[in-house]
Chains A and B, each alone.
Chain A
């Protein structure tokens, strides 16, 4: 009896779209993520967005008897979260309702979006495994690293233009690498090449020549480092 009641309740919840993250249970915002991107925040409720980053949402709805109408996003407090070309831009700490409305202005749903400053960056592999120590690579090998932004224990979402650079261990700062990072071009000096792969923040490290290097990832005032050793 209890089981059948629970099943009925579950079916009713599914039918009425209670799984949706919007306040009215009709629509929600999730990140535009690749299926194999474990670090992407395709989940709801979504994490707060880090200040200075962009969140590229995908609006999904569950409206009985209709396909999803053409929807648009609108922020109630643009000084906290702005909507630019369909992306949410986190500007300062706080919360703002993001209205999901039809072309005629009728609100289908809304989601309160939080914004927080990033206090920490961690690095992980593409499969989500966290980088907790030095990385050793043989010449010719590569590894893709994904930065994750945190505010204390809270994981943050958003794509930021993180700055990647490499310093060779014991040699002080690598001016050429730093300049290349600033110019956002491929780094061709040092033991490791830092290559873009089309995403805003993810990078592929390719071992070029034997040696040791420290790769630094920075977004604003916070940064993370990882030591890389390249062996023949």
Chain B
């Protein structure tokens, strides 16, 4: 009974290892108030297939790459740097490596929204590659215009019909 359980556990671990054959990305910084910098995973059947990022124009976000520990030899490129640019970041932080007691420098890139549009950021590392579908959105207009265009606010401020 115990042996069967261990077999199942080993099988699950093996499947997880196969499924998780790409690095994991994480947002490291928040967006400023009223702006967007949201990184979402696009799930596939077994695991995360890719990522998508909604970023406001003029905003920067730091994204880290890990694969048990920080990704090794991380580089990145943008398909259209006029829409979203990606740069290497020098983060002076050590992160733990899997089950070992060792630590290694965090692997981080900074993505900046340059102009509204969509493009793809491609991350390459010795631990695998990742793609981020980036949508750069324009900054909101004047606060009053934004509130007026909000359905929730409009509903709250519209007097009931008599």
Contacts and interface: CB of A to CB of B under 8 A. Distances in A.
Interface of A: 16, 23-24, 26, 63-66, 76-77, 80, 94-97, 99, 101-102, 105-108, 110, 112, 114
Interface of B: 28-30, 32, 34-35, 57-60, 62, 87-93, 108, 110, 112-114, 139
A23 B29 contact: yes
A95 B60 contact: no
B114 A76 contact: yes
Contact of B113 (A64, A76, A94): A76
Contacts, number: 67
Given A76-B114, A95-B35, A99-B110, A23 B92 contact: no
Contact of A95 (B29, B59, B93): B59
A96 B108 CA distance: 20
A110 B114 CA distance: 15
Contacts of A110: 60, 62, 110
A77 B116 CA distance: 12
Nearest to B93: A16
Contacts of A107: 87-90, 110
A88 to B, nearest CB: 14
B139 A94 contact: yes
Contacts of B29: 23-24
B58 A80 contact: yes
13 contacts: A23-B29, A23-B30, A24-B108, A63-B92, A76-B113, A96-B58, A101-B87, A102-B90, A106-B88, A106-B89, A106-B90, A107-B90, A107-B110
A38 B112 CA distance: 35
